[in-house]
Structure 1
């Protein structure tokens, strides 16, 4: 019952101090409707928040480095969660193995609670100023396709897109170079009101290993649907339907282009997120919270 002051009003309760935890996460996105919580949809964040709230006995909210789309996978997702300090003890088991890191027992406990298609690989106390989304320097994705005549081996079928047509990897690499750097990627992003489409694409290259073709894509951040759209445009080049000059022309588009289709989600995996040293986290967060403008290009 809240306390009452001498004038008959409620005395504000003391705010609960919280501990910020960093979580390293992997998941098979096939049966998830993306990362972000959605009503009546099975999502990665929804499943994880339910398990963590059960453990800590208090509702918690996860914030991720990248909100992956429906069907997209991750081996290197990063998220943070703020847990009230007085609830943190609920995450510790009664017995702890000698030499275990602080939250290793919690990782084991979550492995029993979570479904097989999502794992929390590690948990640690986040350093001061850490924000999984805004402190990030860059995100790394890989997109994988199989050119094998039979499609994809069953063990990889959920993570590799079968592609029935030949691809010119050299032409795709040539066209990829047209998109590198800081620029407006409006032609490759689904529109969100108030959201910027200016990004710095730092790596975009293709390699072929037998029948497996892989694209490596790195940027400071990605807008909605951007990676799959970039890959889809370059597949049109690889098939010989478009050229590098067409890709260069897409840089001038002010809206999402209808000249190509986004690549299927199943081939896309978030493989890592980079962060600055601990003493630079707060400064990085301030920088990335500022909305970018066209004047930066």
Structure 2
């Protein structure tokens, strides 16, 4: 049976999700998307994601792929309209978002919660048929996250940023973070999975304030171990508050021990901002390289 590989670009508010990965009896992003795909195509299918986010973590730009059978593709093709791959992909986006918003509205009404018509906490931005060599997880070159912290809290930002009462010293945090850049064993900043490496290449770790004064930690790496971003931020927050010296994160790194692991910052301040991919001609090569290095570890879940 032949298939078509479909890439989906999406975003979500992780507040009411128990993470990305499907779990029986729990509401997850993967579960919602796969349920919508099944309703639209009348066929069960499984998605592969660039990075599995934890419960409460958001995504401004996430990527996943799914393989559609010929039968499912025919069912998703617009009736009486254009049947090109581009037209069908565009139709899939509209149908999935309609189903997702309908499910969201039904859930909200069942809990006596407000839900504006047509809105949802997960949204498909774009769909495209891609070469089978594309793998949302293993073809990625890197992932970028942002962790938002407000030491001047305002109510509209309560869902996607951590509130702290005392001012933070971003200069001290940036000095501490600079020592962690490069390829290292980040065991002290990870919850390791059995058989998986904790060696990562950290490309960016810096804290800057936006125009509203919100402190944003920008974190970028080839991939991330479980809770790695939140652990990096947790260690830097102790430095920024003055509770630890600037060499504290470097000490955790050099110790390579779970006994003295970094504290983990709360999930709701973290957002997956984007996933980078090479030129399409390099998708397969990159996927082979990533699998060879990290065949059981997560693709990056912050």
CA contact (8 A) 1:191 1:256 kept: no
Q: Output one character per residue of 1:123-170: Cα deviation in whole Å (capped at 9) or x when no partner.
A: 00112410000000000101111111xx2332x221111111210000
Q: Where in structure 2 are the equivalents of 1:161-176 lying within 5 Å?
A: 161-176=162-177
Q: Output one character per residue of 1:43-102: Cα deviation in whole Å (capped at 9) or x when no partner.
A: 100110011011111110011000000000001100000111222111123254899744
1:218 and 2:190 aligned: no
Distance in 1 (CA, whole Å) between partners of 2:69 and 2:198 is 35
- Cross-structure match for 2:249: 247
1:232: Cα distance to partner? Answer: 0.3
- Cross-structure match for 2:273: 271
Distance in 2 (CA, whole Å) between partners of 1:97 and 1:229 is 49
Q: Where in structure 2 are the equivalents of 1:107-118 lying within 5 Å?
A: 107-114=93-100, 115=104, 116-118=120-122
1:141 to 142, 145, 150: 145
Structure 1 segments (4+ residues) deviating >6 Å: 97-100
TM-score by length of 2: 0.87
- Cross-structure match for 1:49: 34
Q: Output one character per residue of 1:184-240: Cα deviation in whole Å (capped at 9) or x when no partner.
A: 000011121111111100111110234310000000000000000100000000011
- SS of the counterpart of 1:244? coil
1:89 and 2:74 aligned: yes
TM-score by length of 1: 0.88
Distance in 2 (CA, whole Å) between partners of 1:280 and 1:255 is 36
Q: Where in structure 2 are the equivalents of 1:6-21 lying within 5 Å?
A: 16-21=1-6
- SS of the counterpart of 1:82? strand
> How many residue pairs were aligned?
275
- Cross-structure match for 2:284: 282
CA RMSD of aligned residues (A): 1.9
- SS of the counterpart of 1:217? strand
1:256: Cα distance to partner? Answer: 2.8
Distance in 2 (CA, whole Å) between partners of 1:220 and 1:88 is 33
- Cross-structure match for 1:34: 19
Change (3 A) 1:177 1:123: same
Unaligned ranges ≥5, structure 2: 105-119, 296-302
Q: Say which structure is richer in helix.
A: 2
Distance in 2 (CA, whole Å) between partners of 1:283 and 1:182 is 21
Change (3 A) 1:104 1:179: same
1:261: Cα distance to partner? Answer: 2.2
- Cross-structure match for 1:80: 65
- SS of the counterpart of 1:290? helix
- SS of the counterpart of 2:39? helix
